[in-house]
Amino acid sequence: MNSKSPLQRNVFPTRKLVVGCLLPVLLLGSVVVWLSLHVQPAVRMPVSRLPASTREARHEDYVGSQACASCHASQVNQHARSGHARTFYRTDDGRFDSQVDGRQFKDPERGVTFHYHAGPGGLSVTLPERFPDDAFPLHFGLGSGHHAISFMTLVPGTDGRAVGIEHRVSLFGEDHEPGLTPSHRGQAVTQEVEHFGRVRSPELLDRCLGCHTTTYRREGLKLTELQPHVGCESCHGPARRHVEQMQHGTIGDTLGLTAISWTATEQIRRCGECHRRPDMLESPLEPDNLKLVRYAPVGILQTACYRKSEGRLSCTTCHDPHRPVSRDAQHYETRCLSCHSAEPAQQVSCKVSSQKGCIACHMPQVEVHPGMSMSDHWIRVRGADGLMSKER
């Protein structure tokens, strides 16, 4: 066997699996130094920054969702059951061990097989066909698990800043079936690290972390001052001032929070910071573009329902942000019928079915990636192919 494996020469290994034992930490340090000279960050992508109240506030201004529970217990308890309350995990907490440890996944494009391992330091993945003796760490799991969970690893880039390696394999659906991560299909390998995933620039890494946590600070390869998941302060902003006002009875006009009186457009824009807006797209804004189904705010903004609602239709028309997302079609059809009923006469009533079937016809579930289906929020009259359509 060579004294150095290809992985040791060209990519970031943290563990060598030899009869189930871990390599000494000193070896990890030496390889990290090597990677800092060789891994290139991804090309910077044009993204919109979150409002200063959430992205640039001081960590000490955040109090955590449990501090809100003293006055808003119902909302906090409901939110704790929602997907937003479980969007970010460290893999060393054991949460994914039973779902991942010992599993294998054969890459349908490259023909190699990923082998997954759980240990005291978290999850790791091996590619025996290419790197027989080495394992690549998976530091974080991102996603609620309803649609998917993707894994991310932090490694140093050429300028010393951390870059993210988005793992090539994600877990899809309630059964957590492995499959290629969206956007990884057809990805070429230009450096050794890309056998394991896609390099994400520091800017895009911060966007991923910013949308899956309430607040954090990135210091080298460590995350400090971390409040994981999407909590109350992700939308309402840091609440320390508000809490102090409540405690001292000195409440001002604004309560020190955001999202109290947002318009419909402001709500959609805020949700779109993470769920995407049209100005963030890289793909064509066309009715038959399946990729757009993943981005609910993009779809809503294209619909006649939104444009003709005179500022009434927003994300919160159908979704209570403090509750788990309903899976009951009737829940949403009731909201459709609040505008599309036979009375008054000026409202548009469906000629096919005026009382039921709204969602199945106008917002069907679409498979946007193998194992992952979502409701299309581009509400419209659909053609025979189910996607190409015209609006009323």
In this predicted structure, what is the pLDDT of residue 249?
77
Domain residues for the domain of 128 are 6-44+84-226
Per the DSSP assignment, residues forming a β-bridge with 382 are 389
152 within 8 A of 164, measured Cβ to Cβ: yes
One domain for residues 20 and 130: yes
**Considering the domain boundaries, does residue 168 fall inside one?**
yes
220 within 8 A of 42, measured Cβ to Cβ: no
Residue that terminates a domain, selected from 176, 206, 226: 226
> Given the structure tokens 């599309």, which residue do they identify?
340
Encoded tokens for 260 = 């109290």
In this predicted structure, what is the pLDDT of residue 11?
44
Q: Is the peptide bond before 370 cis (omega within 30 degrees of 0)?
A: no
Residue that terminates a domain, selected from 179, 198, 226: 226
One domain for residues 292 and 182: no
**Considering the domain boundaries, does residue 239 fall inside one?**
no
In this predicted structure, what is the pLDDT of residue 370?
83
One domain for residues 211 and 298: no
One domain for residues 279 and 376: yes
- Measured between alpha carbons, how far is residue 88 from residues 24, 145, 258 in Å? 28, 10, 23
Residues 6+ apart with CB under 8 A from 279: 48
In this predicted structure, what is the pLDDT of residue 115?
98
The full length of the chain comes to 392
User: Which residues of the chain carry a pLDDT beneath 70?
Assistant: 1-57, 251-260, 342-347, 384-392
In this predicted structure, what is the pLDDT of residue 356?
83
**Considering the domain boundaries, does residue 126 fall inside one?**
yes
One domain for residues 104 and 206: yes
Tens of pLDDT, residue by residue over 274-316, are 999 998 888 888 888 888 999 999 999 999 999 988 888 999 9
Residues 6+ apart with CB under 8 A from 136: 7, 11, 12, 13, 14, 124, 125, 126, 127, 153, 196
One domain for residues 171 and 293: no
**Considering the domain boundaries, does residue 241 fall inside one?**
no
One domain for residues 27 and 151: yes
In this predicted structure, what is the pLDDT of residue 322?
92
Total domains, the chain: 2
Q: In this structure, are strands 365-369 and 162-167 parallel, antiparallel, or unpaired? A: unpaired
Average pLDDT, the chain: 81
In this predicted structure, what is the pLDDT of residue 175?
86
